Amino acid sequence: MFDIQEIRSQFTILNREVNGKPLVYLDNAATSQKPDSVLKVWNDYYTEINANVHRGIHTLSQLATEEMELSRRKIQKFINAKHDFEVIFTKGTTEGLNLIAYILTQKLKKDDEIIISYLEHHSNIVPWQLLCERTGAKLRVIPIDENGILQLNYLDEFLSEKTKVVSVNQVSNALGIVNPVEEIIARTRKNSDAYIVIDGAQSAPHFEIDVQQMDCDFFVFSGHKMYAPMGTGILYGKQEILEDLPPFHGGGEMIATCSFDGTTYAGLPFKYEAGTPNVGGNIALGAAVDFIEKIGRQNIQNHENALLEYAQRKLLELENIKIYGEKAKRVGVVSFNLEGVGISSDVGMILDKMGIAVRTGHHCTQPIMDFFNIAGTVRASFAVYNTFEEIDKLVEGVKKAQKMLG
C-alpha cells in the first residue's frame, strides 16, 4: 500500500518551516531530500566504521569494504548491469560524463563526429566540446520542435561512418521530457558503430532502468537526485569497453603494479576508481536504493505521474501561463513562465516567501532557453514525498505572483 504520510514521516527536513511557512519542497530535479534511513547509514559509517576500503586487513577496513561492495551489488541489480564490476563509483553525473569523454580521446580523430541533442544539460555538452578541441572532431546536434520533442529524422541524417559517439539524456532536466532512448539506440546501432552514452540523472530516480535491455554502452547518474548524499554517482559501462579504454585518474587503488619503469592497471572496477572514494556516501547510495525498492519503482512512477498531471491541469486553469513541453511525454517536472513576467527569479522569490522551493533560471540548459527565446523558466519538480496539497499551495503562490507582478 502506498502511504504518502508514512513516506513523508521518513524525511525529518519536511517538518521544518521556511520564512515562517511549512516547507513545500519542489526542487527535486536539482537535488532530492534524504530519508532518515539513508542519513542513519551515512552517520553510522562515520561513527562506527570510518576506515579506508580495500587496503587494510584490520576489522574496520574489512567492514568498510564489505559495506561498499554490497552497495555496488545493490546498484548492479538496480540498473540490471550484467556484472558488479561494470558499476563504477563517481562523484555524480558530471564526473561520469567527463570521464567517458576523456577516455574516448584516443578513439577519435579529426573530422569524426559526436551527436548530442538540444535537450542536454551543460554537463552533456561541454565535455564533448572539449573532446572536439582535443581531437578535431565535430559536434552535431539533434534539434527539437516547438514542443521540445527531438526530431529524430535528423539523427538518421547525421549518422554515418564518421559518427563515433551518440550521447543523450533519458529525461530532460529543464523540461522533464522523456526521450525515446531505446529508439535512438536502435537507430544508432543500425547505422554506425558509435559509442552510446545515456545521461540518466533525471530518469534513475523516477522509473525502472535496465541497461542490458537498453543496450547502451555507458549509463551515468547521480546519487543526490535519488535520495542519497551529494558527491555520489554511478558510471555503468560494458565490460569489454571499459577493459579496452584507458584510465581516467592515476594514483592509488587503480594500479596492479607500479614502478619507476612503468605501471600496469588494476582490473575493473578499480581501474576507474583512483584514490580514496566517498565510502560513506557510496554506502548510503545503496541505502537509497533500498528506500526506493521498498516503496516500489512503479508506485513512485504512478504517484509522480499523478502529481504531474494534477499540477499541469491546475496551472493551466490560470490565465497567462506558458508550460514548456506541455504536449510531450514528461516525468515529474513542470517548467513554466507567467506571460508578461520577464524574470523567472521574481516568481521564485515570491514563492520562497511562502515556503515553496522551486528552481528558476536556465537550469544549466542555455541552448533550450535560447530555442524558446527566454532567459529561463520556473521549474517545479516532484519526488515521492510530494503531495497534491503542496501542488495547491504552488498554484496559490503562482496566483499571488501574478497579482504582485502585474
Q: SS in 3 state form for 101-166?
A: HHHCHHHCCCCCEEEEECCCCHHHCHHHHHHHHHHCCEEEEECECCCCCECCHHHHHHCCCCEEEE
What pLDDT was estimated at residue 216? 98
- Residue whose C-alpha cell reads 525515446 in the numeric block: 180
Is the pLDDT confidence value at 340 over 90? Answer: no
CB 87 within 8 Å of CB 271? no
pLDDT digits (tens, 9 = 90+) for 182-206: 999 999 999 999 999 999 999 999 9
Average pLDDT over residues 217-246: 98
Residues sharing a CB contact under 8 Å with residue 319, sequence separation 6 or more, in sequence order: 402
Q: Specify the pLDDT at position 75.
A: 98
DSSP for residue 322: E
Q: 3-state DSSP call for residue 54? A: coil
CA distance 42 to 280: 5
- Pairing of β 163-169 and β 195-199: parallel
Query: What is the distance of C-alpha 111 from the center of its chain?
Result: 30
DSSP state of 52: -
For 118-173, how does the pLDDT look when each residue is reduced to its tens digit (9 = 90+)?
999 999 999 999 999 999 999 999 999 999 999 999 999 999 999 999 999 999 99
**In the chain, what percentage of residues exceed pLDDT 70?**
100
Domains, the chain:
4-27+296-405 (3.90.1150.10), 39-293 (3.40.640.10)
Strand order in the sheet with 321-323: 321-323, 333-338, 377-381, 359-361
pLDDT for the residue 365: 98
pLDDT above 80: residue 4: yes
- Quote the mean pLDDT of the chain: 97
- The single-letter DSSP state of residue 194 is -
Rounded Cα distance, 371 and 389, in Å:
33
pLDDT at 383: 98
Contact 97, 237 (CB under 8 A): no
8 Å CB contact between 218 and 87 = no
Q: How far apart are the first and last CA of the chain?
A: 44
391 closest CA partner among 383, 112, 264? 383
394 — phi, psi (to 5°)?
-60, -45
Cα angle for residues 141, 144, 149 (degrees, 5° grid):
130
Catalytic amino acids?
A: 364
Peptide bond into 269 cis (omega under 30): yes
Q: Which three cell numbers stand for residue 287?
A: 541505502
In this predicted structure, what is the pLDDT of residue 341?
81
**H or E stretch including 8?**
helix 4-8
CB atoms under 10 Å from CB of 308, counted, come to 20
- Mean pLDDT of the region 218-227: 98
pLDDT tier, 56 (very low <50, low <70, confident <90, very high otherwise): confident
Q: pTM for the complete prediction?
A: 0.97
Q: What percent of the chain lies above the pLDDT cut of 90?
A: 98
Compute φ and ψ for 96, nearest 5 degrees.
Answer: -60, -45
Burial of 89 (0-12, 13-18, 19+ CB in 10 A): buried
DSSP string, 328-345: S-B-SEEEEEETT---HH
Q: Flag whether pLDDT at 55 surpasses 90.
A: no
- 53-57, 142-146, 225-229: the lowest-pLDDT one: 53-57
Question: How much is the average pLDDT of 393-398?
Answer: 98
Q: Is the pLDDT of residue 342 over 80?
A: no
State the cell numbers at 135: 581531437
